Structure 1
Amino acid sequence: MSPFVQGPALRIEGRAGGPLDGLTFAAKDLFDVAGHPTGGGNPDWARQNPLPARNAWAVQALLDAGAALVGKTVTDEVSLGILGENAFDGTPPNPAAPGHVPGGSSSGSASAVAQGLCDTALGTDTGGSVRVPASFCGLYGIRPTHGRLRLDGMMPQAPSSDTTGWFARDARTFARVSAVLLEEEIPDTLPTGLVIATDAFGFAGPETAAALAPLLNRLRHLVPGTREDILAPPGLAAWGRAQRTLQPVEAWDTFRTWVERDNPRFAFSVARALVMGAATPEAERGWAALVRQEARGRLRHLLPPGTVLALPTTPFPAPATGLPLPALNPLRDQILCLCALGGLAGHPQLSIPGALVDGRPVGLSLVAARGADALLVRTALALEQA
């Protein structure tokens, strides 16, 4: 199964002489490319919406920097998925774990980079859609500070959590791309403090925690002032439940007009998420909003300037493809418990490869204060060189 929905026939050269000259990139099929349909992982979205007249901001930024666009990639339907399986476009392969899912919803972008079909790729992250495929495919992948990057021309899902993200196989390429999209030079300085989220490591499977230990020890040697602390005092499950409440509600608000006007086709899991969003009581929304406020305060407390927090990106490596829904549902819930901090608090989070469980990758995540995205990139560079 190809990771591309629009592949070899779609190639746009970048500006000669730019800082990314010579690199190639792909864009998740949520990003507009002028004159080409934006499919959003659903055939009815492309059919029922006009062709874009201009490139998305992130696509244009990479082209202006010299990178060449070589295709648009498969996504979970309307980005409502975390494992990377699409009922219409299929499941892109995970070359790092054959027979297992690539992670979603930026599945095709991660797959294309992992296969070496392009140097970097654009994805989106609302509830984990860059971080999870980065972990499952053994890639660098970032969810930037919420609101930092312009989202012009990027198909929305849940705007209070939506971000643009990107992947690369190595830290040096990742840093080059990051400097362009963050519009900031990557600093020479490293963090001055490290917080290890003990509840997150305890929540992950023991095999995952053990596999990440060597990478975590290298990080300890790079960053002084290491300490342990609890990430989510009310419980990671409470944070996960809050994100599972807020995100479908916003997704329903985003897609309601389209659904009611055109009655599009959906896979069951996607339709179920939209129905859940439509039916969420106001009291549940209010509770989730309070949890979000609490999560933001907790991250501000844990992450003063110069400090990074470490946790497993996912609680386990990539599950097998084609699992039945009763097996998938608890896996999705467990993943979201570790990923909910992104959508709730909006801090930058970077997943770093370098560990294997039964031959399948798992990532170590670093989180920093809002706006300190470049500090995470610098730390990833230092870890790769250590």
Structure 2
Amino acid sequence: MSSPFVPGTAVRLPGTPGGPLTGLTFAAKDLFDVAGHPTGGGNPDWARQNPIPTRHAWAVQAMLDAGATLVGKTITDEVSLGILGENAFEGTPLNPAAPGHVPGGSSSGSASAVAQGICDTALGTDTGGSVRVPASFCGLYGIRPTHGRLDLTGMLPQAPSSDTTGWFARDAATFARVSAVLLEEAIEGPLPARLVIAIDAFGFADLAAAEAITPILNRLKRLVPDWQEEVMAPQGLTTWSRAQRTLQPVEAWETFRTWVERDNPRFAFSVARGLVMAAMTPEADRGWAALVRREARGRLRHLLPPGTILAMPTAPFAAPKTALPLPEIDGIRAAINVLCAHGGLAGHPQISIPGATLDGRPIGLSLLAARGADAMLVRTALALESI
């Protein structure tokens, strides 16, 4: 197991005194630019073949301006193309809540640093689950904001129609402080009036995992007593997953194509395989996936009018073991994507709430809301912590 920080780097920048995050420390996933330091992207050739940034990423600057102190840059899956947190070049950050098990990726180092208590909060990115999954596996609060809400300047892209900046915290109060700064919105306001429970998502999760988060769900029902069960994806969650696994890799290939064709960089086999397969995706498959995305967006608009939240498992199981054979990893990734694909397809805000364990390993409950209702989700997490 390795440190959560990128090997060979040392970064520390004090925040502006007197801001709302004064006294807090944070780390930044190595997809965020920090002026004067390479952005490595989890790949040994990316930093070498691309210029050193001269400006901080928007999210890094916002945290510094608010008073938080940057204490390091954290490991990511290669160019964010992973969901388990294992990097063949830089190592697997420790999951302190489940040693010997993956931290989740691709924001693996950021989640690990917060879970270990090395920093109070950390920046990650979420395209296909890369904040939500490590939050669940490491027992943290984590958020995927409304797609398009935050300025992504200085954040290495993967699939722009799905990319978001997110963040982690160990406790709801810190999570709310950071959220208020990055969402640029006060967290105060009404709690949700209605709760939808996604029965197909609970049904897809391992039975033991669904049972483990039921106590949190029961607390949520006390907080929001007007609740009902609904099917989240009438077409099938696996159909949504297939569509996202078509669209996202194709966009990733377009993002990295020039670099790959120009510089022939090194990749782990699974990453290279994914890019090659994406490059060969037929146009007909892309068209089909775009139509499914349109269906998914319409369905979630219907399920999540203002004042409504939806509850579902963040991941179908707790953190798997590290260093599994590739065939096992492929099956695990596919299952995780089934419960994460809606994020990239529809762009609704989602938070993962800790508090449950399965065989001693954390597992999270997720809440979704209408686009733009990010602060309501944070308020709900705060209120739920006190029940």
Q: Give the whole-Å Cα distance in 2 for the aligned partners of 1:49 and 1:58.
A: 21
> Which amino acid letter does the alignment assign opposite residue 106 of structure 2?
S
Give the C-alpha shift of residue 289 in structure 1.
0.3
Q: Count residues with an aligned counterpart.
A: 386
**SS of residue in 1 equivalent to 2:345:** helix
Partner of 1:321: 322
> Which amino acid letter does the alignment assign opposite residue 189 of structure 2?
D
Partner of 2:39: 38
Maintained 8 Å contact 1:7/1:70: no
Give the C-alpha shift of residue 361 in structure 1.
0.5
Partner of 1:309: 310
Partner of 2:6: 5
- What is the 5 A alignment of 1:143-182? 143-182=144-183
Partner of 2:111: 110
Q: Give the whole-Å Cα distance in 2 for the aligned partners of 1:323 and 1:94.
A: 16
Partner of 1:129: 130
Structure 1 unmatched ranges of 5 or more = none
Matched, 1:55 2:52: no
Partner of 1:188: 189
**SS of residue in 1 equivalent to 2:213:** helix
TM-score by length of 1: 0.99
- What is the 5 A alignment of 1:374-385? 374-385=375-386
Partner of 2:352: 351
Partner of 2:261: 260
Partner of 2:96: 95
Maintained 8 Å contact 1:127/1:342: yes
> Which amino acid letter does the alignment assign opposite residue 151 of structure 2?
R
- What is the 5 A alignment of 1:168-247? 168-247=169-248
Maintained 8 Å contact 2:210/2:313: yes
Maintained 8 Å contact 2:9/2:73: no
Partner of 1:23: 24
Give the C-alpha shift of residue 60 in structure 1.
0.1
CA deviation profile, 1:229-270 (whole Å, cap 9, x unmatched): 000001111011011000110000000000000000000111
- Indicate how the Cα distance of structure 1 residues 171 and 7 shifts in structure 2: closer, same or farther if over 3 A, else same: farther
Same amino acid, percent of matched pairs = 80
Give the C-alpha shift of residue 224 in structure 1.
2.8
Maintained 8 Å contact 2:77/2:108: yes
Structure 1 residue runs of 4 or more that deviate by more than 2 Å after TM superposition: 6-9
**SS of residue in 2 equivalent to 1:4:** coil
Q: Give the whole-Å Cα distance in 2 for the aligned partners of 1:159 and 1:194.
A: 30
Give the C-alpha shift of residue 275 in structure 1.
0.8
Q: Give the whole-Å Cα distance in 1 for the aligned partners of 2:377 and 2:168.
A: 14
Maintained 8 Å contact 1:103/1:133: yes
Maintained 8 Å contact 1:7/1:71: no
Q: Give the whole-Å Cα distance in 1 for the aligned partners of 2:180 and 2:276.
A: 40
Maintained 8 Å contact 2:347/2:371: yes
Q: Give the whole-Å Cα distance in 1 for the aligned partners of 2:332 and 2:233.
A: 20
- Indicate how the Cα distance of structure 1 residues 8 and 81 shifts in structure 2: closer, same or farther if over 3 A, else same: closer
Give the C-alpha shift of residue 6 in structure 1.
5.9
Q: Give the whole-Å Cα distance in 2 for the aligned partners of 1:305 and 1:6.
A: 45
Partner of 2:331: 330
* Structural RMSD (CA): 0.8
CA deviation profile, 1:12-44 (whole Å, cap 9, x unmatched): 000000000000000000000000000000010
Maintained 8 Å contact 1:128/1:336: yes
Maintained 8 Å contact 2:132/2:142: yes
Q: Give the whole-Å Cα distance in 2 for the aligned partners of 1:151 and 1:308.
A: 26
Give the C-alpha shift of residue 369 in structure 1.
0.1
Give the C-alpha shift of residue 187 in structure 1.
2.0
**SS of residue in 2 equivalent to 1:5:** coil
Give the C-alpha shift of residue 169 in structure 1.
0.1
Q: Give the whole-Å Cα distance in 2 for the aligned partners of 1:211 and 1:9.
A: 39
> Which amino acid letter does the alignment assign opposite residue 337 of structure 1?
V
Q: Give the whole-Å Cα distance in 2 for the aligned partners of 1:374 and 1:125.
A: 18
Give the C-alpha shift of residue 7 in structure 1.
7.7
Structure 2 unmatched ranges of 5 or more = none
